[in-house]
Amino acid sequence: MLNPNIRNYLKKLSTLNFQFSTSGGQSLIEVLVSLSVATVVLSAITVAVIYSLRNTQFSKNQNLASQYASQGMEVVRQIRDTKSTLSDYSGSYCLAQDSLVLTGIPPCGQNVGLQDIGPTPGNINLYSREVNIEPPNPPPTPPTPCEKTYKVTVKVSWWDNVCGNTSNFCHKAHLISCLSDLKNNVQKP
């Protein structure tokens, strides 16, 4: 027969072993489920961050395009103010960065901006700026907002990774204004 001390020790040991096997401890399935949930959560956070960064970049490009369009409109106003008329201009022109001269016939290519990316390798600009000047409508045509003035449209187009590998600009910003000739609108005393 076993010594009572040994018997008590074995009894305690079996009770202790039973307590360890039924309490706490995670099964392999629980670990896999928690890892799967963590992976899904991290993937969702990653997608949200990437989407946010893409939208931020698009907003930045759109703001710059609007600024370039405003600068283009100011150049046309300066031309009008210098010559007192826009009668020498009709049609579409290119307007390069830091230029006060309307040149070329569109498509203008990348002529504004300072980034070394875009659909055409080797070009150093991200944006393309084009100016369209329509002379005043003759009287028999239906009334328009720029009926007795020049309708000036400055279009700034740009390319980014959303456009893909095409050679076309897929984003545009337009600014339209009606400008009159200064020489025809001078108030006489």
Q: With contact defined as beta carbons under 8 Å apart, do 72 and 156 qualify?
A: yes
CA distance linking residue 116 with residue 62, whole number of Å: 17
Q: Is the pLDDT of residue 103 over 90?
A: no
Per-residue pLDDT band at 167 (split at 50, 70, 90): low
pLDDT > 70: percent of the chain: 71
Tokens of 8: 């008590």
Q: Is the pLDDT of residue 43 over 50?
A: yes
Backbone angles phi, psi at 173, to 5 degrees: -130, 130
pLDDT mean over 76-88: 86
